[in-house]
Chains A and B, each alone.
Chain A
Amino acid sequence: MSALDDWRTDLRRWLDDHVPAWWQEEFAATPYEVPERRFDEIRAWQRTLFDAGYMGLTLPRAYGGQGLSAEHELIRAEEMVRASAPPIANQVGVKQCVPALLEYGTEEQKRRFLPGILSADEIWCQGYSEPGAGSDLASLQTRAVLDGDDYVVNGTKIWTTYGTHADWIFALVRTDPEARKQAGIGFLLIDMKSPGIEVAPIVNITTDVDFCQVFFEDVRVPAAHMVGRPTQGWEVANHVLAHERGANLAMLRFGDFLDQIAERARITHRAGRSLADDPSFRQRFAQCRIEFEVLKQQVLQSVEEVRTGRKAGPASSLLKLQMSEYDQRLSRLANEAQGLAAQHWLDDGIDRGIWQWRELWSRAYTIFGGSSEIQRNIIAERILGLPRTGKGRK
């Protein structure tokens, strides 16, 4: 216990010294999104964390990890929140590729790829969605055909976050077009510098270039880069998804945000009084305060469930659904507290427009990682046991 406390104290001191000042100034209100225009600095931040021994805590040393416990991981999460530290650059790699490799990867794959993910030497992106396969991901068309020791990949992936920065992509590819659609999919690791790959940036709602479309034309990928069996990809992806939707302690920061919103509301005036004295604003503010507590308690509960060895199941959908919709209400409230100034954008706005940026960003939370509609389907079918839509018909 006391060794853990010491570890926490060291980490806290380290964070006090190392969290970049520019981050604190500009982005303290963004608990999870990496602003694309500062990607290189965020990448350097992850490297700093890695060098100090604060990445891959629970991973074996042979894979670039620290061989520590889940308790350490939780302390790290808590201290990162407390210090308003920036997120890491390789989020997709760490949250998704790492669990996939740990569970399904070969020893060689683990040794080859895990250290680079943790150190941010190799940035990863997720190649799941296609123009014709979004929520219905299993209908994906990108083909991988075995030719000697290589797969030959043809097709296209879209909405690929950090595709322009990524060194590697983990892609879901169709290996068996004859099989049932979920059964013919593989989870393949592809070098983004391979000949035949074309990356077309897409400008998003916040004018950032976070995501892009990736085109594959006769791209040769060593067969050794298949994770799991060539038809096991759907299972791998689902294993990863449960991780992605799990509790995010960064939401604990929302308590500070609510304080900031209250402060702003006292400054803003409308209809002859401070917004803080407007009964309807007070009601909405209080509702957000209550819902914060409602969510926080569920997040803490799920952290405790994970710690006591219960698995992240479909219940993670409950959190994903609530969190994403809450985030939208909270950032809208933050902007409402600014009055007319809420119309400014980025550097010309209050707090460099961080809340305008977040309000727009929050629209994505209910779309990616399984939209709110899909989460409600999952909750209804897998938790409540209601019949699968379409399949209940006789």
Chain B
Amino acid sequence: MTTLLTDEQLLLRDSARELLAARHPIARVREWTRSEPTRRAEMHAALWKQFAEMGWLGLLLPEEHGGMALTFVEQTIVLEELGRGLVPSAYLSTLLGTALLARSDDAGLAREACPRVAAGDLVLAVAFAEVEGDDPTTFAAHWSEAAGVTGTKAFVADVPVADQIVVAVRDAHDDLVWVLVDRDADGVTVESPATMDETRPLHRVTFEGTPARLVGRLAALWPHAEPIHWLALAAEAVGGCARVLESTVAYAKERVQFGAPIGANQAIKHKCSDMLVRTEGARAITYHAARELERHRDDGAFACSMAKAYATEAYREVAAEGIQIHGGVGFTWEFDCHLFYKRARANEITAGHPDEHRERIARGAGL
């Protein structure tokens, strides 16, 4: 497989970038963060409709499910552009939720859910972590056919706009399983503690005897879905890096101090060069991960783990240098630097800190 994007893929990237810049610029992202929940939901619904029209919601899904049957490379392109625009949407959550449902032992579930996802009629949230963290051995939420789901899941994105939530719980044998609940079902309470990254709020969801449908065993499904989460966060990071680099370089050319643009100073130039190195490196490893996941749908985890570690760390560094090079204005609410830094930190922490991934890589590399 080629390491270069094809003409069609470049076209997809350009059209995604154009669409998001026109319909969902950062000003609208800011408006969304300031809006009441009902207004947010309206804005999201409008955006979602557009995603469905573009075919983005079923990029990976087979044609018989209303999908486009494209590859993880196209999927990565769209995620990169969404990350570039910090677009608040349930895109990543739905992608991840769909990956779980599509592999359910309950074949009916995939058949029902996938076409609805592709058509834009089903928005998913994925509830994995709990208040204590995302180590599944500590999970306490439990489920049984008879008693439903009881317990609290935390750090769940996109709950307010989701139709259904895929939840990791313990079954009656203490095995970890995924179950599916309706967001509006009985016994679901949602709290929304404030989050640093306002473009991706996280929620705490408490279930009390909530009826649920079994999706499948965590051990069977998660190894296929988790790498997609890593890849997606890395892809967003690549888009974020590129955007921060562009605006920072533009600022360095324009801001004059000591009678010259600040970008004429080597201290600034070398930071910018390093930002480009990190951005291009993040891009290279992330698209490599996408191709690996495509090649071995069941075994791209190693590459996705590398991409998650490298790209999200790069994003944090690039976003931090972006603030630094902007000086005082970089510290203001008005300039966008902080929005990217906050998302970068969230992406770095979510789905395995880079240290955790490096530990996995060391093991995978035979150490």
Q: Which residues of A contact B (CB under 8 A)?
A: 258-259, 262, 265-266, 276, 279, 282-283, 285-287, 289-291, 293-295, 297-298, 300-301, 304-305, 308, 318, 321-322, 373, 375-377, 379-381, 383-394
Distance in angstroms between the alpha carbons of A12 and B265 in the assembled complex? 51
Q: Are A286's CB and B365's CB within 8 A?
A: yes
Q: Are A308's CB and B273's CB within 8 A?
A: no
Nearest residue, chain A, Cβ from B284? A297
Hey, what's the 0/1 contact readout for B249-291 against A, CB within 8 Å counting as 1?
1001100000111011110111011101100111011011000
A210 nearest CB across to chain B (Å):
29
List the A side residues contacting B253 at CB < 8 Å: 385-387
A165 nearest CB across to chain B (Å):
36
Contact partner of B358 (CB less than 8 A), chosen from A287, A295, A386, A394, is: A287
Q: A290-B309, A384-B273, A385-B249 are in contact. Are A283 and B259 (CB under 8 A)?
A: no
Q: Are A289's CB and B3's CB within 8 A?
A: no
Q: Which residues of B contact A (CB under 8 A)?
A: 2-4, 249, 252-253, 259-261, 263-266, 268-270, 272-274, 276-277, 280-282, 284-285, 287-288, 303, 306, 309-310, 355, 357-362, 365-367
7 sampled A-B residue pairs with Cβ under 8 A: A286-B358, A287-B358, A376-B270, A385-B253, A386-B272, A389-B265, A391-B264
Q: Are B263's CB and A293's CB within 8 A?
A: no
Distance in angstroms between the alpha carbons of A305 and B3 in the assembled complex? 9
Contact partner of B252 (CB less than 8 A), chosen from A259, A386, A394, is: A386
Q: A297-B3, A297-B285, A387-B253 are in contact. Are A289 and B361 (CB under 8 A)?
A: yes
Q: A290-B361, A384-B273 are in contact. Are A322 and B281 (CB under 8 A)?
A: yes
3 nearest A-B pairs in the assembled complex, by CB-CB distance: A392-B264, A380-B269, A286-B358
Q: Are A301's CB and B4's CB within 8 A?
A: yes
Q: A298-B280, A308-B4, A373-B270 are in contact. Are A293 and B249 (CB under 8 A)?
A: no
Distance in angstroms between the alpha carbons of A383 and B280 in the assembled complex? 12
Distance in angstroms between the alpha carbons of A300 and B291 in the assembled complex? 14
Contact partner of A286 (CB less than 8 A), chosen from B252, B274, B276, B359, is: B359
Q: Are A293's CB and B306's CB within 8 A?
A: yes
Q: Are A392's CB and B362's CB within 8 A?
A: no
Q: Are B277's CB and A380's CB within 8 A?
A: no
Interface centre among A283, A293, A322, A394 (most CB of B within 10 A): A293
Q: Are A282's CB and B4's CB within 8 A?
A: no
List the B side residues contacting A376 at CB < 8 Å: 266, 269-270, 273-274
13 more contacts with CB within 8 A, not counting A283-B355, A386-B252, are: A286-B361, A286-B367, A290-B306, A294-B285, A294-B306, A297-B288, A298-B281, A301-B3, A318-B277, A381-B269, A386-B253, A386-B264, A389-B265
Q: A393-B259, A394-B260 are in contact. Are A304 and B4 (CB under 8 A)?
A: yes
Nearest residue, chain A, Cβ from B258? A393
List the A side residues contacting B366 at CB < 8 Å: 259, 262
Distance in angstroms between the alpha carbons of A318 and B249 in the assembled complex? 17
Nearest residue, chain B, Cβ from A261? B367
Distance in angstroms between the alpha carbons of A385 and B249 in the assembled complex? 8
Q: Are B288's CB and A387's CB within 8 A?
A: no
List the A side residues contacting B273 at CB < 8 Å: 321, 375-377, 379-380, 384
Distance in angstroms between the alpha carbons of A265 and B365 in the assembled complex? 12
